């Protein structure tokens, strides 16, 4: 631990005391910031894990439905099956600031409210029975079947869940970077700067006491 080379004067001592008070206040702020960021990270992680569980469930249902659809149509015929209409994603909310970190809020998409995916039963054979009918005029002739329709319905929520996972991943990455930066600064104050300043204060205080004793001895000597 190094000690600053400072001329031991009362004004220098007072300046060091004021500097230490400001540094201690900065450390308290960084420590509180670490706690707030950690709390937000945990909240985002819980949301991410919940969304990932929904993704895994939806993906398993979709893959099972895909196997049935491929078994019914084959890869080539399923590849020209009519595509689903564009998915309307919920608009993300305005980013909120968590101590300077932008956190984007996305409305949740409960699995039970997404058409085509049962909330509890993950059996792709539970597809509704649809009558086979030709595709619209001008398109390749493909018969609509229960397996293909159910497969399309099961894959429909995946883009929305993927977008939500991407948003949460971005939030977590920004929070992680800010937390690490804050933690490094707090550790630098706690482990290096504050101990170094305390050592300097002790050295200056000791030097001032010695000067006072020398001055007292000199005054007594002159008085004699």
Overall average pLDDT of the 177-199 stretch? 94
pLDDT on residue 47: 93
Asked if 202 and 14 count as a contact pair (C-beta separation under 8 A), the reply is no
Domain limits of the chain?
28-183
Residues 75-111 have pLDDT tens digits of: 888 888 887 777 666 666 778 899 899 999 876 655 4
pLDDT of residue 142: 62
Helix ranges, the chain (H): 10-73, 75-79, 146-155, 158-188, 194-223
Euclidean distance between CA atoms 94 and 44, whole angstroms: 16
Query: What gap in Å lies between CA 143 and CA 134, rounded to an integer?
Result: 5
**DSSP summary character for residue 103:** E
3-state secondary structure 124-178: HHHCCCCCCCCCCCCCCCCCCCHHHHHHHHHHCCHHHHHHHHHHHHHHHHHHHHH
């Amino acid at each position: 631990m190094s000690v600053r080379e400072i001329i031991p004067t009362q004004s220098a001592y007072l300046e060091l005391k004021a500097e230490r008070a400001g540094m201690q206040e900065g450390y308290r702020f960084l420590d509180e910031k670490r706690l707030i960021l950690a709390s937000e990270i945990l909240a985002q992680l819980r949301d991410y894990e919940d969304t990932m569980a929904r993704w895994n469930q939806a993906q398993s249902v979709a893959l099972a439905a895909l196997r049935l659809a491929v078994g019914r149509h084959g890869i080539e015929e399923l590849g020209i099956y009519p595509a689903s209409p564009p998915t309307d994603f919920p608009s993300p909310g305005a980013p909120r600031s968590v101590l300077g970190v932008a956190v984007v809020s996305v409305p949740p998409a409960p699995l039970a409210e997404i058409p085509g995916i049962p909330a509890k039963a993950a059996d792709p054979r539970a597809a509704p029975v649809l009558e086979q009918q030709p595709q619209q005029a001008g398109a390749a002739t493909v018969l609509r079947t229960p397996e293909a329709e159910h497969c399309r319905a099961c894959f429909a929520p995946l883009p929305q869940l993927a977008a939500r996972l991407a948003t949460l991943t971005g939030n977590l990455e920004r929070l992680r970077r800010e937390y690490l930066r804050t933690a490094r600064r707090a550790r630098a104050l706690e482990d290096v700067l504050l101990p170094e300043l305390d050592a300097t204060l002790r050295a200056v205080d000791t030097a001032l006491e010695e000067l006072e004793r020398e001055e007292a001895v000199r005054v007594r000597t002159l008085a004699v």
